[in-house]
Structure 1
Amino acid sequence: MYKTLLRPIFFSFDPEKIHHFTFSLIKFSSKIPGVSSIFKGLYTIEDKRLERNLFGLKFKNPVGLAAGFDKNAVLYNELADFGFGFIEIGTVTPKGQTGNPKKRLFRLKDDQGIINRMGFNNEGVEAAIEQLKKNEGKLIIGGNIGKNTATKPEDYTKDYLECFNALHPYVDYFVLNVSCPNVGSHAKLSDKDYLEELIGAVQGANKTFKNQKPILLKIAPDLNNGQLDEIIGLVNDTKLDGVIASNTSIDRTGLKASDERLKEIGNGGLSGQPIKDKSTSVIKYLSDKSNKAFPIIGVGGIHSAEDALEKINAGADLVQIYTGFIYEGPSLIKRINKAILKAI
């Protein structure tokens, strides 16, 4: 029903406006008695064989929702009814910010992709905490954190620490988002020496809490093998809990969209089917070269159960969807989980 009826209607409107409309629609529908149970019945699979234990956490299934969809943690309780095993909120910054000027979200329908340059638009860490206090405990919640756009380079780490310390009681794991192409001073965030400093500072803060939380690093899909070797060394040296591969891409190679259309859209991060193979290649390289030394969450271009299995076979322990969720609808989660069970 989604692809034949709802998607054509949704895709006839501005992507960002329909995103907010969909949030309101799901929120409203879930308040109607019985609707939550209907969603669960349609989309959720409960099976012990789907459970995954990673970095001290038990995931009821390996299919998650990537960061960027529920930035402000306003819909995770309702989205849990669609069958996700975990949901990552954010990217959250210390202060609320409007992000980049609109229009900043674009569909590439022929490519089944999306280009965005949102710029970490969110309401800030305190607003996220108020929403997370409403957590009904349905699934694992990850906190994806970043810096404010206006923050000076010498204060980047301070921003990450502010988010980390404030969110610590409310999320199950953390993701350091250092690979988004839509924020300023991207070069420093990808510098190995700075990453060692940042990870060390966050791990130091983590040790001040009685219950320490797993910390993961989200990397770009555009890294070459030499850079991926650096990531492997970084994870091993810092004892980081895992890696999310991957974020959006700045590469436009092989797109069906015309050069004119791409020029009209401008800069931004590409997600969806066009980065599927690139993301899978990164996962496989990290897994093979490190001899599966650390957990990997695979994300990028998962639009089918086969795409998800490809990521898992390449070395991903868990998978996340975002653009595929928009193009395929909530039935995608169930299809992936059914395929995983069938493959066991």
Structure 2
Amino acid sequence: MLQTSTPHSPLAQAAYRALLASLAAEPELGLRGVAICKSRGGGRFWYDSYRVGASVKSRYLGPDSSALQEKLRAHAEQRAAFAVRQQERRSFVRFLQAERVALIDGGTGSFLSAFSALGGFRHGAVLMGEPAFELSALELGCRLTTTQQSCLSRSVPSCIPLAALEPVDEGLYEVTGELKLRASVPFDPVWPLSWPSASRDVRITYLTPRVSPDGTPVWPLSSDDYRAPPLMKFLIEQSIAAALPYRHGVLLRIPRPERFALHALLMAHCHAGANRTERAATDLDQATALLDILIRDRPDDLRAAWAIAAAQWPDLLQASLSQAPWIRDRLDTADITI
């Protein structure tokens, strides 16, 4: 059961905001890694060499020319300035880690770093589940204590849920291909995909796109064969940028905290009706923890999200509140009713 939240120190909150602002302002570099020239057949050709997890990949840039060399010189200057900003962000991450803020295991951090670097979140993906819950608390400036170990830092194999709104950005096709996601072994229908890292296989699931029988993602080619469930759409539309304190910081996207809280409340009744009582209890714990902070610090954001949810699912909200009268009491203090 989640207990009362405690605020992070003012310095930790400032460090997180500075990290997020620096990541969000970072311009996209022309190259993912370093430029390498190779000689072949009497000619010289340039390649972009970059790392994805434990693998080194290369992307063809073109034959040697004065125009390309000029672009590479400009990139080298940008890269030098980028390295300075990286070191600044690394200092923020070190401080947050010292403050025990959102610590993360290596497998999860490595995958999210690679996924972000390849543009997965820029192309519309949203981090979901317990990792997003913990980063929502960080967004709100609070630490949530629980008898269960942190999802981000636990030592068991990582499980990372992702989602995307339709129509899916075709750039996600390329990201999925670059990462070489494969069916998990042994196959797990809940976490069907696996990404091999240096230390372990990281388990992944796409919550909204279809998955083929062998566990590989089937990214839809059109919105005709892709529909996000309405509750999922409510959760991930208007997602926000977040910073993961890992290495030099990782820019990703998570649901808005108020939508995450209300989605958890709505799903509690759905899970209870499907005899998933443990999952329903977790939903109510997460909803309670976030709602307590939102009522105190961001009541206007909560009221705006509540108005949308109450207009679409009033009966479901009533049913969930009947399972958790303490949440109804908290909402009453903020004058939030159906």
Q: Same fold (TM over 0.5)?
A: no
Higher radius of gyration, 1 or 2: 2
